[in-house]
């Protein structure tokens, strides 16, 4: 499999692609939706809510933490996760910029 040539793309293009890649899994979307509804949650809640194994949930949480969209605090033996509102707003802004251009259907082949 070939190496991607990320250096030929802008920093913004690479960042948006990395963000979308991290979000491109239904379990991660479900995790974010659950955290948003709860305003915070403990990882074990996610296991019960989603029905996935603890190790699977942990891997998905790691991917979301890598892009900074969630942050966690250690409380005893549990980790409480919440949405990083600054990162959430930045991703929303980047997506709005990406989708701002109108696509003309009459210009389609």
pLDDT tier for residue 1 given thresholds of 50, 70 and 90 = very low
The SS3 of residue 94 is helix
Task: At 3, list the tokens.
Answer: 């190496």
Residue 16 CA to residue 20 CA, distance in Å, equals 6
Q: What is the DSSP string of 15-59?
A: HHHHHHHHH-SHHHHHHHHHHHHHSSEEHHHHHHHH---HHHHHH
pLDDT tier for residue 109 given thresholds of 50, 70 and 90 = low
Whether pTM exceeds 0.85: no
């Amino acid at each position: 499999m070939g190496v991607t040539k990320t250096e030929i793309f802008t920093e913004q293009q690479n960042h948006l692609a990395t963000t979308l890649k991290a979000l491109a899994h239904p379990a991660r979307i479900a995790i974010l939706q659950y955290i948003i509804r709860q305003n915070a949650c403990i990882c074990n809640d996610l296991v019960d809510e989603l029905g996935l194994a603890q190790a699977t949930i942990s891997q998905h949480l790691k991917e979301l933490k890598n892009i900074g969209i969630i942050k966690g605090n250690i409380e005893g033996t549990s980790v409480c996760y919440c949405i990083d509102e600054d990162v959430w707003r930045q991703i929303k802004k980047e997506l709005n910029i990406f989708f701002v251009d109108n696509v003309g259907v009459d210009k389609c082949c």
